[in-house]
A = this chain, B = another copy of it.
């Protein structure tokens, strides 16, 4: 199995990516990684993996058009190598918009896929259980038909990546009862019913997203982006409040020393870095977007996600799954 890594464009530059690749390869001998970027920044990788030189770096705010013009950029080259079929997956921590739209343009949607979706697995109250949220930002709006298809894609992801045999699928809405929702959600609800969609459990409110029996929660990309970032912001905000609480005085500082292991476990649970990144599902290839601010540990997790998805053969699973639905 071979995957390609874009080494450039992240906030921490290529050193974080180089360190991540070295660490990952030390632990896994069933994977070949090709790294694309300025070769003079990748010398530490020589002898360990293939290096492809690329002279341009896609700027953080670049859109699709700009990336498509930058044919000697690490991002364009990396995505294009997946298109050739030789590589199963691509990982980048560069411009989100540029990366996702370049991947969509170059790799094209899987036959039958109306829109690809950005997927993020979220922690839940149940230890080890993740809930798959999609779309969290690949689209600015989605039709009811697209929301129906996201249900199928999410279900396949939950089944083949998390081994949930019969995933519970919900629609994110402003109330749990049937009949709640935006006009699009109401129509999507009806489509799920008409399709007798296996595992469809109805609407779910955002407050129960992390504490329910949901394996998959479907929403349009705009709502999903607000939910994802709202949750991230709240977690960070509360993290700051906790720190302040521990810094109050010498006694509370001692208290911190006594509880820090538990506090660390909590931070890890809520830390997006441990999830490794978001995946664009629905295109012909495994596309993993690591956070722009990825450090080596975070990027290593993103490589792990790409490796897992490629091993699960998720692209073919979606292809077959959509045909049989």
Are the CB atoms of B254 and A266 closer together than 8 Å?
no
Other-chain residue from B181, B251, B255 in contact with A222 (beta carbon distance below 8 A): B181
Give Cα A244–Cα B270 distance, bound, in whole angstroms.
14
1/0 contact string of A202-214 vs chain B (CB within 8 Å): 0001111111000
Q: Does A84 make an interface contact (CB < 8 A)?
A: no
Report A202 CB to chain B, min CB distance, Å.
15
Are the CB atoms of A248 and B242 closer together than 8 Å?
no
Copy total for this chain: 2
Other-chain residue from B230, B265, B269 in contact with A230 (beta carbon distance below 8 A): B230
| Residue among A230, A235, A266, A270 with the highest chain B CB neighbour number at 10 A | A230
Q: Does A221 make an interface contact (CB < 8 A)?
A: yes
Report A246 CB to chain B, min CB distance, Å.
6
Report A103 CB to chain B, min CB distance, Å.
18
Q: Does A261 make an interface contact (CB < 8 A)?
A: yes
Supposing A174-B222, A229-B206, A245-B266 touch, asked if A238 and B240 sit within 8 A by C-beta, the answer is: no
Which residues of chain A from 216 to 246 have any CB-CB distance to chain B below 8 Å in the complex?
219, 221-223, 225-238, 240-242, 244-246
Q: Does A25 make an interface contact (CB < 8 A)?
A: no
Report A251 CB to chain B, min CB distance, Å.
4
Q: For residue A266, which residues in chain B have a CB less than 8 angstroms away from its CB?
A: 238, 241-242, 244-245
Q: Does A128 make an interface contact (CB < 8 A)?
A: no
Closest B residue to A247 using CB positions: B262
Interface residues of A (CB under 8 A from B): 61, 125, 137, 140-141, 172, 174, 177, 180-183, 185, 205-211, 219, 221-223, 225-238, 240-242, 244-246, 248, 251-252, 254-259, 261-263, 265-266, 269-270
